[in-house]
Every structure is written in C-alpha cells, then in structure tokens.
C-alpha cells in the first residue's frame, strides 16, 4: 500500500532528548488523519520534519513515491506539501487579501518577476479573493492582519495555505486559541476541504478529532503508540490510560 | 468590530491600482529642478544630496523592503568609487557614463559574492559580519596603496566631458543635471522593483521569513538578488561621488559612511522610497547649517535631531507626515 505522503523509520534527537523515534506514517489521497498525543509528544516536531524545517537523523520521507528527505522546504511546497502553524505566522502589517495573494503568487511562480508590476492583470488577486470568499473573509479583504480578531486570523492562516493548492495539508492545531464560539467557522472550513486533499490534523480538542478524523495515530514520547479508526482508538485501554484519561468518560 | 484601514468598493481593483502614480510624486522632481534655477542652496550641496539619495535608496531596498539590517553598506559605495576612480587614474578610462556603469557593475558583483555568504545569517550575527566587511574593505584599500593611493587618497582622476560636451564645472551646473538624471533612473528602477511581485515577496520576507519559507519561497535567493541590485545602486552613488570630486579617499569606505546612510534612511522613513529623499535632504541641510553655525560641536545638534526622531517619529519624518494626513482625513470623515 502506498500513500501520497509516507514517513518511514524517522528518528530525530535534540541532544539526549529523542523527540522522534522510529515513526512510520502513511497518508492516502483524500485521507482525514488525526495525530494526537500529550504535550511534548513531538507532534509539531514531526510536522517540521515532514515539511523540511528540520532534518531527520535517520529515516525517509516520500511525497507521491518520491524521496524528498533531502529536498528543501520550498521544494516540498512546490511539490504539493503545505502546512499551517500552531501559532499564527502571518504578514501582520499587510492586508488579508495581500497575505493570501502572496502565496497564490508564489505558487504560480510570479514572485520571481521583478520588472512588471505586481497583480496588474489581477489574476492573482482574483484567485485570492475567491479563497477569501470561501472562508467568509471577503469583508476583511482590506483589513490589516493585526487589526483582525484572533479567530479571523486563524482563518487567514488556513487561507494562505489553501492558496498553495496543496495535495497534502498539515494542520497544526487549527482551532488553538480560538474562542469556542468561533471554532465552528474553523471546523466548517476544514470540513469543506476537497476530497482530493490528504489532510493530517494535530489537535487537542477531542470533539474536533472525532468529528473530523477517519483514522488516528497516537504519538507518545516521540513514538507511535498505536493507530486505528476513531472507534478503535476510543476503545484502546492503553490510549485511555496514557492520554485520553477521563475526558472520554465524562 | 474591526476597523477597516482602507475602504474600497472592490478590494481587487484597489490593490491592483495602488501602485499607480500619484500627483504628489512629481513634487521631489519639481523641487530638484527649482533648486537648479533658484539656487537656494549651492548646486555643490545639491549634488551631495542627490548622491546621498541614491545611496539611501539602495539601502532602502534591502533594509526597508527585505528587512536586512547592515552596518557595512559603504563597502559597495566605496567599491563603486574606487573602481571608477582607478579606471580613470590608472587605465585612462575617462568616459563618464561607461565609467560609472563599470564601477556599479563591480560593486554589484561584489554584492552578489558577499551577499551569498552574509545573508545566510541574520540578526546580530549579520550586523557584526556586515560591520566586519566594511572594516576589512577599508583596511584593504589602505594596504593596497599602489592602486588606491592608500591614506593619501587616489588622485589623477580625469573625467571627460559628458557626451564630449558637458564639463564638470566649478559650480556643478552640469554635474547637478548628471546626478539628477542618475537619481531619476535609480528611483524609477527602485519603484518598479518594490511594486513588482518580487518586491511584494520581499515585504513578505521582512514581515515573516518563516512563513515565506512555508509557502515555498526561496528566501536566500530572493535576498541575494535584491542585495546585488542594492550593491549595484550603492556603486552608482559611489562612482558619481568619485567623478564629481575627481578624488577618492579612504573616507568612502569608512564605518561613519555606513552609519550615516542608515541614519539618513531611518530619519526619512524606511520602506517607502521617498524616505530616502526626505532623509537625505533634511540630514545634509541640517548638517550644513549646523556646521556653519557651530563648527566645533555641530554633531551634537545632529544627535539631538536623531534622538527626537527616534522618540517621536518611529516611522521617520515621512511616516509622521503620513500619520498626520490620515489623522486629518479621519477628522473630516
């Protein structure tokens, strides 16, 4: 069985601290996979390894059967791997529309052009505007990011990533820090992602995980404890002991 | 409720058309031409201001747009000045325009080579490395006395009349136009670059480098590209300086020059191109005035101006003006 994104035998240590230990993970096309685990389990590290922010000590990463372990971060993005950040990484002094236009423009390879005027034929801006509409952000198109409430900023975080038309999308706690009244907007946006995109979501909120995921991996101390369908994970005694605790019983 | 910073019917049209020319953009050029005819200041001082504008514009490309802080930009100014000067003094290459372009090209190539290494670093490490580069260049020019004239300066520069007609007269009447035209071309290039998609991606790098990487941007390559262009333009400023004065000293590579141009740009306002115009004009006029009035401690007055800017006009003089205009518009609304 081959997936669109495959991680094989990944290891990473920071000094004596082994943050990733022999991790195997496969995402099929159209996957809705959740990665859960207690704080410090190494979930974000795993995303950083997959996207190329960090280099693994050992192991390989395959994107559409192609070994991308030594490929640069930008190379992987060009090949369809995109991520969002747990803590917003936005262009805070730019408008919402420009934030998204930057990623659309980068995908279309226009950001190399330094002689003709940006967006003069508005192809990039039009596409960015379509994305904003999809996420209900059109009324904020000309609002500068730092003036937006946090929940809206989280949506921009997703919109920027969608501007890259990814094949594989890694969502690092998309609903983190968003007031509970606004989480549905984020979740609807995630639900509305196309079936052709494989999605890996890191999330602490179990309601989100069980609503969204068709399969779940549990990461504990850098190693995969177990994998399975949401039902299997919910029934798994080991998982309940290590991570879910009483939160499911309640 | 969020406040809308811009209000427009159609955001796409608004952003697309934001880069169109505004009537106010004609002002600096009207002022420059008026200076020639009315001469409220000497044209020699005018030429100095123009050269400083070009140098500050080159710095604005990397600092104001790319977010690269440097304390060694004089290295490229000096490279332009010495190359243009040495071509004339040693090889008899006296034609001004090709000499200017030759100096700028060498400065640009040098910017590419050094930028490739320097821009792997950022923050304090980058600051220290650019500082070291500037000092090394000054020392290099000092020890290669045979070519540069070392501490005594490079003399023997002879520049032919421009197009065989316009000489470098004592009042700088011709060289004022020569510098003004050079400034205009450099400005046009800068304006085009910062308004291009490439320029917008530089702003992205300045605002959030990590995010630019995550959307697939080759950050290092982008920064090296703009650094090279910036070094080329700094080289133009240096080459002009050598041609106007027909003399080059180690001073062109001094740390003070790197520091001063940073101050000029911050004073005017970074990341808006016109900050270079305002900064250069104000800095040089204030310097000139204070040096006349208080020859012994004019730098104290200049320091005072800078402290005031840093305290009250964080965005520079032009930034303060923009805030004021926005404030007035809000009052009206």
Segment B281-318, tens digit of pLDDT: 999 999 999 888 888 888 888 888 888 888 888 889 99
From the list A82, A92, A102, which residue is nearest B201 (CB)? A102
Average pLDDT value for chain B:
92
| pLDDT band with cut points at 50, 70 and 90 for residue A244 | low
A10 within 8 A of A23, measured Cβ to Cβ? yes
Which residues of chain A make contact with B217, given a CB cutoff of 8 A? 74, 106, 111
In the predicted structure, residue A248 carries a pLDDT above the cut 50? no
Predicted confidence (pLDDT) per residue in B77-97, tens digit: 999 999 999 999 889 899 999
- Record the tokens describing residue B157, joined without a space: 């520069």
Q: What is the number of residues in chain B?
A: 333
d(CA B299, CA B313): 20
Which residues of chain A make contact with B13, given a CB cutoff of 8 A? 122
| Cα angle for residues A35, A37, A40 (degrees, 5° grid) | 115
Asked if A97's CB is within 8 angstroms of B12's CB, the reply is yes
The topology (CATH level 3) of B41-332 is ABC transporter involved in vitamin B12 uptake, BtuC (1.10.3470)
The beta strands (E) that lie in A195-248 are given as 198-202, 215-220, 223-228
B16 to chain A, any CB pair closer than 8 A? The answer is yes
The nearest alpha carbon in chain B to A91 belongs to: B207
Asked if A97's CB is within 8 angstroms of B11's CB, the reply is yes
What's the average model confidence in pLDDT over B46-53? Answer: 97
d(CA B227, CA A110): 19
State the burial class of residue B204 (Cβ atoms within 10 Å of its Cβ: 0-12, 13-18, 19+): buried
User: What are the angstrom distances between the C-alpha of B58 and each of A140, B20, B236, B254, B262?
Assistant: 34, 22, 10, 17, 11
User: Among B278, B194, B272, B206, which residue's Cα sits nearest to residue B230?
Assistant: B194
Q: What is the pLDDT of residue B322?
A: 86
Beta strands across the sheet bearing A66-67: A17-27, A5-14, A58-63, A66-67
| Cα angle for residues B13, B14, B20 (degrees, 5° grid) | 95
What's the average model confidence in pLDDT over B260-272? Answer: 94
Predicted confidence (pLDDT) per residue in A155-211, tens digit: 999 999 999 999 999 999 988 888 888 788 888 888 888 888 999 999 888 888 888
Q: Which residue has the tokens 């946006």?
A: A189
Domain boundaries, chain A: 5-89+165-244
In the predicted structure, residue A101 carries a pLDDT above the cut 60? yes
Predicted confidence (pLDDT) per residue in A8-19, tens digit: 999 999 988 889
ipTM exceeding the 0.85 mark:
yes
B182 within 8 A of B176, measured Cβ to Cβ? no
Which residues of chain A make contact with B198, given a CB cutoff of 8 A? 111-114
**Optimal mutation site among B215, B218, B228, interface A, most CBs of chain A within 10 A:** B215
User: What are the angstrom distances between the C-alpha of A80 and each of A63, A108, A168, A197, B313?
Assistant: 8, 13, 6, 10, 44
d(CA A96, CA A113): 22
User: Among B142, B81, B85, B144, which residue's Cα sits nearest to residue B107?
Assistant: B81
Q: What is the pLDDT of residue B2?
A: 52
Domain boundaries, chain B: 41-332
Q: What is the pLDDT of residue A250?
A: 37
Beta strands across the sheet bearing A168-172: A81-83, A168-172, A198-202, A32-36, A215-220, A223-228
Which residues of chain A make contact with B207, given a CB cutoff of 8 A? 91-94
Predicted confidence (pLDDT) per residue in B172-221, tens digit: 889 999 999 999 999 999 999 999 999 999 999 999 999 999 999 999 99
The topology (CATH level 3) of A5-89+165-244 is Rossmann fold (3.40.50)
A51 within 8 A of A170, measured Cβ to Cβ? yes
Could you give the percent of chain B with pLDDT greater than 70? 98
In the predicted structure, residue A142 carries a pLDDT above the cut 70? yes
Q: What is the pLDDT of residue B4?
A: 62
Q: What is the pLDDT of residue B237?
A: 98
**Optimal mutation site among A110, A112, A130, interface B, most CBs of chain B within 10 A:** A112
Q: What is the pLDDT of residue B1?
A: 45
B84 within 8 A of B103, measured Cβ to Cβ? yes
By 3-state DSSP, what share of chain B in percent is helix, strand and coil, each rounded to 5?
75, 0, 25
- Record the tokens describing residue A63, joined without a space: 């994107």
- Record the tokens describing residue B246, joined without a space: 């027909």
Q: What is the pLDDT of residue A240?
A: 81
**Optimal mutation site among B1, B12, B214, interface A, most CBs of chain A within 10 A:** B214
B275 within 8 A of B281, measured Cβ to Cβ? no
d(CA B253, CA B78): 5
List, as one string, the DSSP characters of B66-93. Answer: T----S-THHHHHHHHHHHHHHHHHH--
- Indicate the Cα dihedral angle A160, A164, A168, A174, nearest 10°: 0
Predicted confidence (pLDDT) per residue in A53-73, tens digit: 999 999 999 999 999 999 999
B217 to chain A, any CB pair closer than 8 A? The answer is yes
In the predicted structure, residue B270 carries a pLDDT above the cut 90? yes
């Amino acid at each position: 069985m081959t997936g669109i994104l495959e991680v094989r035998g990944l290891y990473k240590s920071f000094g004596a601290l082994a943050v990733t230990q022999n991790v195997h993970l496969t995402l099929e096309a159209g996957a809705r996979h959740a990665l859960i685990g207690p704080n410090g389990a190494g979930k974000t590290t795993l995303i950083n390894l997959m996207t190329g922010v960090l280099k693994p000590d050992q192991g390989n990463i395959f994107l559409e059967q192609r070994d991308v372990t030594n490929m640069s971060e930008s190379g992987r993005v060009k090949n369809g791997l995109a991520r969002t950040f747990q803590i917003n990484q936005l262009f805070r002094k730019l408008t919402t529309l420009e934030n998204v236009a930057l990623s659309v423009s980068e995908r279309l390879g226009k950001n190399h052009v330094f002689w003709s005027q940006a967006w003069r034929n508005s192809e990039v801006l039009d596409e960015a505007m379509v994305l904003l509409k999809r996420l209900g952000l059109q009324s904020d198109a000309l609002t500068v990011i730092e003036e937006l409430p946090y929940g809206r900023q989280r949506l921009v975080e997703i919109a920027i990533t969608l501007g890259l038309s990814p094949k594989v999308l890694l969502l690092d706690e998309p609903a983190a820090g968003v007031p509970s009244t606004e989480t549905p907007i984020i979740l609807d946006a995630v639900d509305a992602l196309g079936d052709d995109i494989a999605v890996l979501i890191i999330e602490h909120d179990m309601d989100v995980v069980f609503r969204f995921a068709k399969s779940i991996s549990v990461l504990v101390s850098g190693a995969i404890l177990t994998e399975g369908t949401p039902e299997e994970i919910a029934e798994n005694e080991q998982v309940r002991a290590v991570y879910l605790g009483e939160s499911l019983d309640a | 409720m969020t406040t809308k910073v811009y209000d427009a019917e159609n955001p796409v049209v608004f952003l697309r058309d934001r880069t169109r020319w505004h009537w106010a953009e004609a002002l600096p050029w009207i002022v420059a031409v008026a200076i020639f005819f009315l001469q409220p200041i000497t044209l020699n001082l005018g030429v100095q201001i123009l050269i400083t504008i070009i140098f500050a514009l080159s710095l604005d490309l990397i600092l104001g747009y790319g977010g690269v802080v440097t304390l060694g930009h004089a290295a490229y100014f000096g490279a332009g000045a010495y190359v243009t000067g040495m071509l004339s003094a040693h090889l008899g290459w006296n034609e001004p325009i090709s000499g200017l372009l030759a100096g700028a090209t060498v400065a640009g190539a040098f910017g590419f080579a050094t930028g490739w290494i320097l821009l792997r670093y950022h923050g304090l490490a980058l600051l220290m490395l650019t500082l070291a580069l500037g000092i090394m260049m000054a020392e290099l020019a000092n020890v290669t006395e045979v070519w540069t004239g070392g501490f005594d300066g490079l003399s023997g520069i002879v520049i032919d009349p421009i197009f065989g007609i316009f000489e470098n007269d004592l009042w700088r009447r011709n060289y004022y136009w020569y510098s003004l035209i050079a400034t205009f071309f450099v400005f046009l290039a800068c304006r085009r670059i910062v308004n291009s998609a490439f320029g917008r991606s530089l702003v992205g790098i300045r605002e959030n480098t990590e995010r630019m990487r995550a959307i697939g941007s080759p950050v290092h390559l982008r920064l090296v590209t703009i650094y090279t262009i910036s070094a080329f333009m700094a080289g133009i400023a240096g080459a002009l300086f050598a041609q106007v004065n027909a003399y080059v000293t180690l001073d062109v590579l001094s740390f003070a020059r790197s520091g001063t141009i940073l101050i000029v740009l911050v004073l005017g306002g970074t990341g808006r191109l016109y900050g270079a115009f305002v900064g250069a004009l104000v800095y040089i006029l204030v310097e000139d005035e204070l040096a006349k009035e208080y020859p012994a401690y004019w730098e104290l007055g200049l320091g005072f101006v800078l402290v005031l800017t840093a305290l009250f006009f964080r965005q520079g003089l032009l930034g303060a003006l923009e805030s004021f205009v926005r404030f007035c518009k809000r009052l009206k609304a």
